[in-house]
Amino acid sequence: MALATALLATGFAQASGVDWRGKIDLRAVESDTDQSWTDSGLGKSRYDRHSSRFSLGQAVLRGDLDLLDTVNGAVLLSASDQHHGVVDIQEAWLGWNPLPSGAWKMRVKAGYFFPPTSVEVEYGGIDWTPGPHHFQCRHQ
């Protein structure tokens, strides 16, 4: 894990073709509830009059890079309001996709990542939202 993260960090520092994408969720709150349900109160909101008016709900930053024609990598960082001062590494990996020399294609991915959970769904972005074509029922 440490070796893959070090290699990925070195690659990001040297790569000129890094594609950065991000998302920021900023929140503005006004509440007169005495105590939020998250603090064992009876308020229906998770915010109460003691909550800060402005907060960072979540910030996500993803970087994708191509080191060589057959070597790529990615890093996905996340921070939220509930974890003050902590930046989570959700993914950090290097991939090798050599050109196929026969009928079989090989791909190797090493690092810290979540395995794909569905063959039908492409999780290509930072946050995936299902479209109407994902809910079609077909009867044969």
Question: Mind giving me the DSSP string for 10-65?
Answer: HHHHH-S--EEEEEEEEEE-----SSBGGGTSSBSSS--TTS-SEEEEEEEEEEEE
Its pTM stands at 0.59
Domain spans in the chain, listed from the N-terminal domain onward: 2-25+58-116
> What value does the mean pLDDT take over residues 103-131?
71
- Bridge partners for 92 per DSSP: 75, 112
Say if residue 24's pLDDT is above 50.
yes
At 106, is the secondary structure helix, strand, or coil?
coil
Q: Distance between CA atoms of 125 and 130, rounded to whole angstroms? A: 12
Per-residue model confidence as pLDDT tens digits over 57-106: 788 999 999 888 889 999 999 988 777 778 888 899 999 988 888 888 88
Q: Looking at this protein, which amino acid is placed at residue 41? A: G
